[in-house]
Amino acid sequence: MKRTHVAAVAAMVLLATPALTGCFSGMKATTNMQATMNSGNGVQAQVGDVHVENATVVMGPEGSTSATLTTRIVNTGPQPDALVFATVNGQPATITGDQVALDPGASVSFGFDSEHWINAYGLEVPTSTYVPVELGFQNAGLVKISVLTVPPVGYYEGIAPNPPTAPSAAASPAAG
């Protein structure tokens, strides 16, 4: 009788252990789900040999509908590539120089401590929301990411679209 009692207690302890640990709440536990969701600013993506690092949309000055995408793009491949188009929230974005060359092994910064910019004008979204961003590369193809919008304060203070307003159609070389 003692052996039966001991076996029953051991079985109950084994069955109750997961519920009593408090660490496991099933496959939909927050700790399990975080790895598959955007976790904040600094979105990463890979397309072909091109790696996009720390993509964040910094909103323009208060009262404006402009923003700039801060990111670093790295060409890890042996062939040159180029960033040829971008969209932010479904609208075409302005790339400094219309496109930016990415030499093999090169790393190019955009929007922060850089001469390169990816600007959005007419962006009417609240801060702390995610917006769709597409970056098109000449060889690597298209990358689609969901990027957090942040205000230009704290770490992002001083980051703003350059130029601050959309280039006019009359000033564009295609208009001439």
- Count of residues making up the chain: 176
Alpha carbon distance 55, 71 (integer Å): 4
Complete domains list, the chain, with CATH: 2-33 (no CATH), 40-165 (2.60.40.1890)
Identify each DSSP E strand in 50-129 by its residue range. 50-59, 67-75, 81-88, 91-92, 94-95, 100-102, 107-110, 118-120
- Average pLDDT across the chain, whole number: 83
Tens digit of each residue's pLDDT (9 = 90 or more) over 43-59: 999 999 999 999 999 99
Q: pLDDT tens-digit profile of 4-38? A: 766 677 767 667 655 555 555 555 555 544 444 55
Q: Which two tokens stand for residue 71?
A: 């990111």
Provide the pLDDT confidence category of residue 143 given band limits of 50, 70 and 90.
very high
Q: Is the pLDDT of residue 173 over 50?
A: no
Please state whether the peptide bond connecting residue 78 to the residue before it is cis, i.e. omega within 30 degrees of 0: no
CA distance 130 to 171: 32
Confirm if 100 and 108 have CB atoms less than 8 A apart: yes
The pLDDT of residue 166 is 85
